[in-house]
Chains A and B, each alone.
Chain A
Amino acid sequence: MARSIANSVIVITGASTGIGRAAALQFAREKATVVVNGRREQVLRKLAEECERLGGRALAIPADVTDQEALKSVARQAIETFGRIDVWVNNAAVTLFARVEEAPYEAYRRVIETNLLGNIHGARAVLPYFREQGSGTLINVSSVVGKIASPYVSAYTTSKFGIVGFSKSLRMELQDAPGIHVCTVLPASIDTPLFQHAANYMGRAIKPLEPVYSAEQVANAIVHLARHPRREMMVGNAGRMEAFMHTVAPGLMEWMFARQVSKDHFQDRPAPESEGNLFKPMEEYETVSGGWRTRQSNGKFSGRTIIGTVALGIAVGWLIARSSSKQPGAPGRAGLHPLPGQPTRLSSR
Chain B
Amino acid sequence: MHIQPMPLRSEWTRVPGGTMHSRTNLYSPPPDAPVVVLVHGMVISSSYMVPTAQRLASLCRVYAPDLPGYGQSYKPWPILLLPQLASALAAWMDAIGVSRAHLVGNSFGCQIIAEFALLHPDRIDRIVLQGPTVDPEARTLAQQLFRLWRNRRLELRSLGRLSIKDYRAAGLRRAWETMKLALADKIEVKLPHIQASTLIVRGAKDPLVPQRWAEEVTRLLPKGQLIVIPGCPHTANYSAPLEFVRVMKPFLQL
Taking beta carbons and an 8 Å cutoff, which residues of A are in contact with B? 3-4, 6-9, 33, 57, 79-84, 128, 132-133
In the assembled complex, the Cα of A33 lies from the Cα of B205 at a distance in Å of: 13
Give bound CA distance, A133 to B230, whole Å: 15
A7 CA / B228 CA spacing, docked (Å): 12
Q: Is the CB of A57 within 8 A of B230?
A: yes
Query: In chain B, what residue has the closest Cβ to A9?
Result: B230
Chain B residues in 8 Å Cβ range of A7: 204-205, 230-231
Minimum Cβ distance to chain A for residue B238 (Å): 14
Q: What separation, in Å, do the CA atoms of A132 and B242 have in the docked complex?
A: 8
A-B contact sample (16 more), CB < 8 A, given A80-B246, A132-B2, A132-B4: A6-B231, A7-B205, A7-B231, A8-B230, A9-B230, A57-B228, A81-B227, A82-B230, A82-B247, A83-B232, A83-B240, A83-B242, A83-B243, A84-B229, A84-B246, A133-B242
Q: Which residues of A contact B232 (CB under 8 A)?
A: 83
Could you tell me the distance in whole angstroms from the C-beta of A247 to the nearest C-beta in chain B? 41
Given known A7-B230, A7-B231, A132-B3, contact A80–B242 (CB-CB < 8 A): no
Contact: A128 with B2, CB < 8 Å? yes
- When chains A and B are docked, how far (Å) is the Cα of A216 from the Cα of B142? 47
Smallest CB-CB separation from B250: which chain A residue? A80
B244 sits at the interface (CB 8 A): yes
**B246 contacts A8, C-beta separation under 8 Å:** no
Nearest chain B CB to A71 CB, angstrom units: 18
A7: nearest chain-B partner, CB-CB: B231
CA A132 to CA B243, docked complex, whole Å: 10
Bound-state Cα–Cα, A83 to B229, Å: 6
Q: Are B242 and A84 in touch, CB under 8 angstroms?
A: yes
A-B contact count (CB 8 A): 46
What is the distance, in angstroms, from A1's C-beta to the closest C-beta of chain B?
Answer: 12
Which has the most chain B C-beta neighbours within 10 Å: A9, A82, A83, A84? A83
A8 to B232, CA, bound (A): 10
Q: For B204, what are the chain A residues with a Cβ–Cβ distance below 8 Å?
A: 7
Find chain A residues with CB under 8 A from B246 CB. 79-80, 83-84
Contact B227 A33 (CB under 8 A): no
**Interfacial residues of chain B within 206-236, with CB under 8 A of chain A in the complex:** 227-232
A33 to B243, CA, bound (A): 14
Contact residues in B for A132 (Cβ distance below 8 Å): 2-4, 242
B230 contacts which chain A residues (CB < 8 A)? 7-9, 33, 57, 82-84
Alpha-carbon gap, A265 to B232, bound state (A): 49
Top 8 A-B residue pairs of the complex, sorted by shortest distance between their CB atoms: A7-B231, A83-B243, A83-B229, A33-B230, A83-B247, A83-B246, A80-B250, A84-B243
Complex alpha-carbon distance, A72 and B250, angstroms: 15
The answer to whether B231 and A3 have CB atoms under 8 Å apart is: yes
A133 vs B242: C-alpha distance when bound (angstroms): 8
Instruction: Tell whether, in the assembled complex, residue B231 and residue A8 are in contact, meaning their CB atoms are under 8 Å apart.
Output: yes
Question: What are 17 A-B pairs with beta-carbon distances under 8 A?
Answer: A4-B231, A7-B231, A8-B231, A33-B230, A81-B227, A82-B228, A82-B230, A82-B247, A83-B242, A83-B244, A83-B247, A84-B229, A84-B243, A84-B246, A132-B2, A132-B3, A132-B242
Could you tell me the distance in whole angstroms from the C-beta of B241 to the nearest C-beta in chain A?
Answer: 10
Q: Could you tell me the distance between the alpha carbons of A128 and B246 in the complex, rounded to whole angstroms?
A: 13
* Nearest opposing residue in chain B for A80, CB measure: B250
- Report the nearest B residue to A132, measured CB to CB: B3
Which residues of A have CB within 8 Å of B242? 83-84, 132-133
Chain A residues whose CB sits within 8 angstroms of the CB of B4 once the complex forms: 132
**Assembly CA distance A81 to B229 (angstroms):** 8
- B3 to chain A: closest residue by CB: A132
Contact with A along B84-122 (1 / 0, CB 8 A): 000000000000000000000000000000000000000
Among B205, B228, B229, B230, the one with the most A-chain Cβ atoms within 10 Å of its Cβ is B230
Point out the residues of chain A lying under 8 angstroms from B2, CB to CB: 128, 132
Q: What CA separation (Å) do A3 and B240 show in the bound complex?
A: 13
CA distance A83 to B232 in the complex (A): 10
A12: shortest Cβ distance to chain B, in Å? 16
Chain B, Cβ-Cβ closest to A76: B250
Nearest CB of A to B5, in Å: 11
Q: Which of B3, B204, B231, B250 has the most CB of A within 10 A?
A: B231
B247 proximity list for chain A (CB < 8 A): 80-83
Closest residue of B by beta carbon distance from A83: B243
* Shortest Cβ gap from A265 to chain B (Å): 42
Contact partners of A83 in chain B: CB under 8 A? 227, 229-230, 232, 240, 242-244, 246-247
Q: What's the Cα separation between A132 and B1 when bound, in Å?
A: 11
A33: chain B residues within 8 A (beta carbon): 230
Min CB–CB distance A59 → chain B (angstroms): 11
